[in-house]
């Protein structure tokens, strides 16, 4: 095998892995701010992609307006999740598991709603990030243009979320709220606001991801569940749900593992291999690969 091919495989792995990381960012962010795993969040990617498709390709609005509109609607969707799902469940004494099940079912719900309105056929995404045959070539390696947009956005979002969570008071208040809502209030944190912010920002991040991923995943049901959801989730969990950087690195690692197990072992068993590695990582580093500090009781 030529080194050029191996390099190409590596680059493709990083590229596809960064799409997992992009979804993982939303997962980490929500976990850090309300300690919940929200499967309905995955739907935001699909919703924003379909919305953008409708606004841009079907109605013919401009790129910018379509983008803002679809991401804005998805942000509101986050707010809806909070008030229609999270709050009522918490109020009636439901825990995390109930939340997981409810959001999983919302995920299924959206898939079926999309089928009713758009049918099951994947739609081609308009070539706003370059055409299907536009590639950037360098050093014998090539990559579709859209990935450069993805890298850019991943870098920006990752840095932004990290900065928000770790460096700003707002972010620290978000995390404080997740850990002890009552005491956070005693500190004067507007828990109401931070919770809404947490939901809206996490759907927004995944919503932006949806539009960027659509050229690769197509405007399709796949954006709303199934493998990308599980892989985004894995990316976040590999990093211990702690840090946005971790989510991206976790995603990229997953992408590389997948591509190399295809190349060197077997394309049929690539999922088995990457999942086994994931499980092994979790067993040997139960809090994620990037977490070293020991917590006690």
Partner 1 sequence: MSLLKIRNLAVSYNGIPALKKVSFEINKGEVVSVLGPNGAGKTTLLRAISGLVKCEKESEILYKGKNIVGLQAYKIARMGIAHVPEGRQVFPDLSVQENLEVASVLTSLNRRSGKIQKVYELFQELNSRKNQPAGTLSGGEQQMLAIGRALVSDSELIMVDEPSMGLAPVIISRIFKTLRQIVQEQNLTLLLVEQNAKLSLPLSDRIYVLSQGRIVLSGTVDEVKDSDLIRQMYFARE
Partner 2 sequence: MILQAKNLTKVFGGVIANKEINLNVEEGTVTALIGPNGSGKTTFINQVSGVLKPTSGQILFKDKDITSLEAHDISRIGIARTFQKIRLFEKLTVIENVLVARRKFFKCGFLDIVFHTKRLKNEEKEQLDIALNLLQRLGLADEAWKMPGELPYGKRRALEIARALALEPKLLLLDEPAAGMTRNEFASIIDIIQKLKEQGITMLLVEHTMAFIRETSDKVYVLNFGEVIAEGTFEEMEHDPAVVAAYLGEESV
Partner 3 sequence: MRVVNWKKILLIIALALVVVYPFLDKNDYRLYLANRALIHSILASGLVFLTGFAGQISLGQAGFYAIGAYTSAYITTRLGMPIILGIVCGILLSLGAGLILSIPSFKLKAFFLSLVTIAFGQIVYVLILNLQSITGGPYGFFGIPPMKVGQYYFDNKGYYYTFLIILVLVILIIYRIKNSYLGRSMFAINDDVIAAEVCGINSKQSKIFAFALSASLAGLAGSLYAHLAGFLSPEPFTFFESSNFVAMAVVGGLRNILGGTIGGVILTFLPEFLRFRGWENYYLIVTSLTVVLVVVFMPNGLGNIIFKLFRGKTHSHAIHKEITTLRKEKEGGTK
Q: Can you give the binding site for ligand ATP, defined by CB under 6 A?
A: 294, 296
Q: Are 4 and 219 in contact (CB under 8 A)?
A: no
Question: β-strands 141-144, 135-138: how paired?
Answer: antiparallel
What are the residues whose beta carbons fall under 8 Å from the beta carbon of 125, sequence distance 6 or more? 49, 53, 214, 215, 218, 219
Per CB under 8 A, 93 contacts partner 2? no
| Smallest separation, CB 294 to partner 2 (Å) | 6
Nearer to partner 2, 182 or 297 (CB): 297
Out of ligand ATP, partner 3, partner 1, none, what residue 95 binds, judged by CB under 5 to 8 A for its kind, is partner 3
β-bridge mates for residue 141, sequence order: 138
**Which strand (E) or helix (H) includes residue 284?**
helix 270-284
Distance CA(206)–CA(24), nearest Å, equals 9
Per CB under 8 A, 108 contacts partner 3? yes
What are the residues whose beta carbons fall under 8 Å from the beta carbon of 13, sequence distance 6 or more? 252, 255, 256, 257, 258, 259, 260
| Smallest separation, CB 294 to ligand ATP (Å) | 5
DSSP 135-170: EEEETTEEEETHHHHHHHHHHHHHHHHHIIIIISHH
Of 24, 16, 19, 30, the C-alpha closest to 212 is: 19
Of 264, 210, 253, the C-alpha closest to 13 is: 253
Of 210, 156, 201, the C-alpha closest to 43 is: 210
Out of partner 1, partner 2, ligand ATP, none, what residue 1 binds, judged by CB under 5 to 8 A for its kind, is none
Largest CA distance in the chain: 63
Of the candidate spans 122-130, 178-186, 247-255, 270-278, the one that interacts with partner 3 by CB under 8 A turns out to be 270-278
Out of partner 1, ligand ATP, partner 3, none, what residue 57 binds, judged by CB under 5 to 8 A for its kind, is none
For partner 3, the binding residue among 10, 79, 98, 291 (CB under 8 A) is 98
| Smallest separation, CB 179 to ligand ATP (Å) | 16
For partner 3, what does the binding mask look like between residues 213 and 252, x meaning CB under 8 A? ------------xx---x--xx--x---x-----------
Per CB under 8 A, 92 contacts partner 2? no
Q: What is the 3-class SS of 71-102, one letter each residue?
A: HHHHHHHHHHHHHHHHHHHHHCCCCHHHHHHH
Q: Which of residues 268-297 bind partner 2 (CB under 8 A)?
A: 293-294, 296-297
Binding interface with partner 1 (CB under 8 A)? 169, 172-173, 175-176, 179-180, 182-192, 293-297
Out of partner 2, partner 3, ligand ATP, none, what residue 108 binds, judged by CB under 5 to 8 A for its kind, is partner 3
Query: What residues line the site for partner 3 (CB under 8 A)?
Result: 31, 37, 84-85, 88-89, 92-98, 100-102, 104-106, 108-109, 112-113, 115-116, 225-226, 230, 233-234, 237, 241, 268-269, 271-272, 275-276, 278-279, 282-283, 286-288, 297
């Amino acid at each position: 095998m030529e080194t050029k091919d191996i390099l190409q495989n590596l680059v493709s792995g990083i590229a596809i892995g960064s799409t997992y990381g992009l979804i993982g960012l939303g997962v980490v962010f929500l976990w850090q701010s309300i300690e919940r795993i929200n499967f309905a969040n995955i739907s935001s990617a699909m919703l924003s992609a379909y919305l953008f498709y409708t606004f841009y390709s079907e109605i013919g609005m401009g790129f910018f307006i379509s983008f803002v509109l679809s991401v804005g609607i998805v942000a509101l969707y986050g707010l809806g999740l909070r008030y229609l799902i999270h709050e009522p469940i918490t109020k009636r004494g439901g825990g995390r598991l109930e939340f997981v099940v409810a959001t999983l079912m919302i995920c299924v719900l959206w898939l079926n709603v999309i089928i009713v309105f758009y049918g099951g056929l994947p739609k081609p995404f308009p070539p706003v990030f370059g055409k299907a045959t536009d590639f950037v070539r360098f050093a014998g390696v090539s990559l579709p243009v859209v990935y450069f947009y993805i890298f850019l956005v991943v870098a920006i979002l990752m840095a932004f979320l990290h900065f928000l969570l770790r460096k700003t008071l707002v972010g620290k208040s978000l995390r404080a709220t997740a850990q002890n809502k009552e005491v956070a209030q005693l500190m004067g944190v507007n828990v109401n606001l931070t919770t809404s912010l947490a939901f809206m920002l996490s759907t927004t991040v995944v919503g932006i991801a949806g539009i960027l991923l659509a050229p690769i995943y197509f405007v399709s049901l796949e954006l709303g569940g199934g493998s990308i959801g599980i892989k985004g989730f894995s990316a976040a969990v590999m990093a211990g749900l702690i840090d946005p950087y971790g989510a991206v690195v976790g995603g990229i690692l997953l992408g590389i593992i997948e591509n190399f197990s295809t190349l060197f072992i077997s394309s049929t068993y690539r999922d088995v291999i990457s999942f086994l590695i994931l499980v092994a990582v979790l067993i040997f580093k139960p809090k994620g690969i990037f977490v070293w500090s020991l917590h006690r009781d």
